[in-house]
Amino acid sequence: MADITRRLGWRHLRGAPTAHIRHHRSGKLLHDGPGLSFWFRALTAALSEVPVDDRELAMTFHARTSDFQDVAVQATVTYRISDPALASARLDFSVDPDTGVWRGAPLEQLGTLLTETAQQHALAVLARTPLAAALVDGVTAVRERIATGLGAEPRLPATGIEVVAVRVMAIRPEPEVERALRTPAREQIQQEADKATYERRAVAVERERAIAENELDSQIELARREEQLVDQRGTNARREAEEHAAADGVRAEAEATRTVRLADAEAARSVRLAHAEAEGAREVGDARAHAQAAWLRVHADVDVATLHALTGTRLAENLPNIDSVTISPDVLTGLLSRLGAGAGAGGDEVGA
């Protein structure tokens, strides 16, 4: 849209580089070109603005295949206005001199023309194509047919329109038909998935079997080694017992030898002690005998009274010390009676 400014009854227009401006006054062309900027009077000016940039026209339309199936076609046509003067002459691109807004809807007219032309050629192709082929190769066929048809359409060059490119994004059947078409593929995919699952399970079972066999082999090998270990432990235990028995025999023999030696030494010491005791006893006996003989020789020549005196003296030496003697009347009477009886008996013996 052109930028128009008001100044004291004059108008100033400033166009964009992608807009072709045509200014007529009194039937004469005063300004013609893209990106113009000029002053004009609103009462005498006739302005038109023709876009010269590439424009995208998206279209969606329905068609029917040769097997009577409805499909939706999504396409895009890129076009440009190559001859602005011719386009402004065939279509109403005039703008309001006060606001710069198009008085009509020229781009909608171009869109309708391009859409109907493209749809006509697409319907002609799809009407002779079954649904399966349309879904597989229909995009290319429809695109080429639309491009060829638009290039050969005489109204477009007569309007100053140039088709730059044609793109067909998709050809889609109805949702129910699309689900029905997807079912075999989904079933096949599901079968392949199930097959892959079964194969994976088979591989897993095979691996589990291999693992179980390895574990069993490991257990067998472990049992065999445990048996070897038990045998080796028994051998070691027997060898240890034999070594302990041999050591005990050596110790017992050494102890017996030491005991015999101790017994022999003790016997020899006892014999020596007995000989020594016997010798001592004999010597003591001989000494006592010599002493007794000497004592007897000394007292052999002594009289009886002297011997009695010596005996009393030795007796007195061996008696305990007596500090005092208490004689009761009964004891004294008895002693006196015995003394008197002894004296009488002695007188009788003397008289006799």
Residue in the structure block whose two tokens are 């859409």: 115
Asked if 75 and 115 count as a contact pair (C-beta separation under 8 A), the reply is no
pLDDT band, very low/low/confident/very high, at 9 (cuts 50, 70, 90):
confident
Question: Is the predicted pLDDT of residue 51 greater than 70, yes or no?
Answer: yes
3-state secondary structure of 16: coil
Question: Is the predicted pLDDT of residue 81 greater than 90, yes or no?
Answer: yes
d(CA 102, CA 112): 18
Average pLDDT over residues 195-214: 90
Neighbours of 311 (CB within 10 A): 10
Query: What is residue 276's predicted lDDT score, i.e. its pLDDT?
Result: 80
Asked if 197 and 185 count as a contact pair (C-beta separation under 8 A), the reply is no
Among 165-174, 236-245, 343-352, name the one with the lowest average pLDDT.
Answer: 343-352
pTM attached to this predicted model = 0.52
CA dihedral 191, 193, 196, 202 (to 10 degrees): -80
d(CA 26, CA 113): 32
pLDDT band, very low/low/confident/very high, at 345 (cuts 50, 70, 90):
low
Query: What is residue 349's predicted lDDT score, i.e. its pLDDT?
Result: 44
Neighbours of 48 (CB within 10 A): 24
d(CA 181, CA 130): 13
